Amino acid sequence: MNVHIAISHLVTYIAVLSFFIVAGVQAQGNLDVAITLEPPVLDPAINASASVQKTTYQNIFEGLTQIDNLNQVQPSLADSWQVDESGLLYTFTLRKNVFFHDRRQLTAAVVKSSLERIIATNSINPIKDKFANIKDISVISTYVIEVKLSWSNGDFLYNLGLGNAVIQHPKSWRTNATKPIGTGPYRFVNWKRGSHITLVANHHYWGKVGSIKNIKIVFTPSRTQIVSYLADGLLDGYSSMTEVGFLNSLFVIRQDYTLKMGNTSGEIIIAMNHANEMLSSLAIRQAITLSINKKQIADTPNFITGAEIGSHYSPDDIAYLDLTNAYPFDLKKARQLIDDADIAIKPLRLIAPPTSYAQYISLHLQQMLLEIGFTLEVEEVSWQEWLTRVYKDKDYDLTIIAHTEPDDLDIYARDDYYFNYNSHDYKQIIEQLNHTHDKALRIELLKQAQKKLSDDAVNVFLFMLPKVGIWHKQLRGYWINEPIPTMIFSQMHWQE
């Protein structure tokens, strides 16, 4: 990981704070944390935003399984399961006496309806395609359910533990976007738009009730807000930093915070819309990729990047294929590719979401593309507008985004995905992967998929999104690494 921390001077602010503010242990019942982007909705079954999962996963909503901080599958609403020898029949035994926050009981019939909602023809679940192999779902008894698959998938239990596969009661489907009702250790209380969300401990929870009773999740889209809240001791944790230039000055006036650095599974990419006539050309996409000086981006003062990548895959995974040298920075070769392509060069539009990494990188990108004769217009938009214009309507040329969903190579095989990438060969690789249970063969197929994305220069693959957090020194139980987007509050506690 490349970490660049430069001393910045908050002289005016420090002058106002003429004494040290050192907070004691928070009241055991309270925790105030911040996330950068406000969730567009609070139902992860209908929205792919990481901020939705950070707020709800294993807090409000739970799945049959769950993913732990080591990226391993653990039981959740399913206490246990059995898989037959063919790998096609899964039998789940549910926990008994589990209730939703509105006191409706969890049963196999509820689980069946929730899973069927994911795979329905009209489903808009972001990971619907991961469950395309579900053939039949049967209720065996009140607490036992069987799932039959059309083909074996070694990731099935893992996929069930993802934040978009949580179990929801059909009576709450229509209102979960604004008033979520789950089975988790925390109940939704209030959402003050543009400000914060509050949760409270669920005292009827089937498992261990969290020691922290009241949770406040604050939205802090600007650096100024983060600096102000942290300097005033108004936050106990913030785990989404990609710039840290203010921290040295902050630690001068605050000695009750600690900096923790880890990894996520998120890939930061420059996504290209292949529906654009110019970007549909492989030569043009390769030229753009060759024109990006990743070292220059990584060396930006105060900006943090994770490991460099050459395809849409994490270096921490056993199936990782190192393709970082596939397109070394080479302006001469880039210009030659453009000349040989004989394609009319037109201005490009970059739609940038309101994240600091997108703002930093877009500034570099404008200058780098200008070096090969491309004019780039950058438009910064809200997160909701990005979701509408880019993710939904595909009304963009370029964008900069971190894909935080783990094991998501399959998105490039989706016909309606916002990249508009359409490769029969790539789809064949993913289809074979989905039908393969053998571990060694799966690794080989995963490497083939990575190589194909690199060869086709589908997007510009930049860096892994780092996990950089600042936490109160007396808070315990937060994740250092983040294999999936989440903050599990029931695991956090104040040191006595």
Q: What is the CATH number of the domain that holds 310?
A: 3.10.105.10
Alpha carbon of 428 to those of 412, 424, 431: distances in Å? 11, 6, 5
Q: Is residue 159 located within the same domain as residue 255? A: no
**Which among 428, 465, 463, 435 is positioned nearest to 449, based on CA atoms?**
428
| Predicted pLDDT at 28 | 60
Q: Using the 8-state DSSP alphabet, how is residue 222 labeled?
A: S
Residue 199 in any domain: the answer is yes
* Strand 493-494 to 460-472 pairing: unpaired
Alpha carbon of 417 to those of 129, 164, 355, 404, 422: distances in Å? 11, 17, 22, 16, 10
Residue 49 in any domain: the answer is no
> pTM above 0.75?
yes
| Predicted pLDDT at 241 | 73
Question: What does the pLDDT profile of the chain (496 residues) look like in tens digits?
Answer: 444 433 333 333 333 332 333 333 455 689 999 998 899 999 999 998 899 999 999 999 999 999 999 889 999 999 999 999 888 999 999 999 999 999 999 999 999 999 999 999 999 999 999 999 999 999 999 999 999 999 888 889 999 999 999 999 999 999 999 999 999 999 999 999 999 999 999 999 999 999 999 999 999 877 788 888 999 999 999 987 776 777 778 888 888 999 998 888 899 999 999 999 999 999 999 999 999 999 999 998 878 888 999 999 999 889 999 999 999 999 999 999 999 998 999 999 999 998 889 999 999 999 999 999 999 999 999 988 999 999 999 999 999 999 988 889 999 999 999 999 999 999 999 999 988 878 899 999 999 999 999 999 999 999 999 888 899 999 999 999 899 999 999 999 999 7
**In the chain, how many H helices and how many E strands?**
13, 18
Q: What is the CATH number of the domain that holds 68?
A: 3.90.76.10
Q: Is residue 216 located within the same domain as residue 290? A: no
| Predicted pLDDT at 74 | 97
**Which among 356, 312, 305 is positioned nearest to 465, based on CA atoms?**
305
Backbone angles phi, psi at 398, to 5 degrees: -130, 155
- What sign does the CA torsion over 374, 375, 381, 387 have? negative
Q: What is the CATH number of the domain that holds 255?
A: 3.40.190.10
Looking up tokens 């490009």 gives 348
CA distance 225 to 199: 22
Residue 111 in any domain: the answer is yes
| Predicted pLDDT at 11 | 34
Which of 172, 206, 228 marks a domain boundary? Answer: 172
CA distance 447 to 442: 9
Q: Using the 8-state DSSP alphabet, how is residue 391 labeled?
A: I
Q: Is residue 372 located within the same domain as residue 445? A: yes
Backbone angles phi, psi at 376, to 5 degrees: -120, 120
Q: Is residue 253 located within the same domain as residue 292? A: no
| Predicted pLDDT at 9 | 36
Which of 137, 172, 207 marks a domain boundary? Answer: 172
Q: Which domain holds residue 68?
A: 62-172
Could you give the number of structural domains in the chain?
Answer: 3
Which of 121, 152, 172 marks a domain boundary? Answer: 172
Residue 70 in any domain: the answer is yes
| Predicted pLDDT at 437 | 78
| Predicted pLDDT at 1 | 45
Q: Is residue 444 located within the same domain as residue 326? A: yes
Residue 480 in any domain: the answer is yes
Helices 331-341 and 282-290 cross at an angle (nearest 10°) of 160
Radius of gyration of the CA atoms of the chain, in A: 23
Residue 287 in any domain: the answer is yes
Q: Is residue 440 located within the same domain as residue 473? A: no
Residue 344 in any domain: the answer is yes
Q: Is residue 68 located within the same domain as residue 132? A: yes
Q: Is residue 198 located within the same domain as residue 287? A: no
Transcribe 115-181 into DSSP letters.
Answer: HHHHHSTT---TTGGGGTTEEEEEEEETTEEEEEESS--TTHHHHHTSTTS----GGGTTTTTTS--
Residue 47 in any domain: the answer is no
- Strand-pair partners of 94: 78
Q: Is residue 155 located within the same domain as residue 218? A: no
Q: Is residue 259 located within the same domain as residue 286? A: no
Q: Is residue 300 located within the same domain as residue 396? A: yes
| Predicted pLDDT at 27 | 52
**Which among 117, 119, 108 is positioned nearest to 77, based on CA atoms?**
108
Q: Is residue 271 located within the same domain as residue 257? A: no
- Residue 33 burial class via C-beta count within 10 angstroms: exposed 0-12, middle 13-18, buried 19 and up: buried
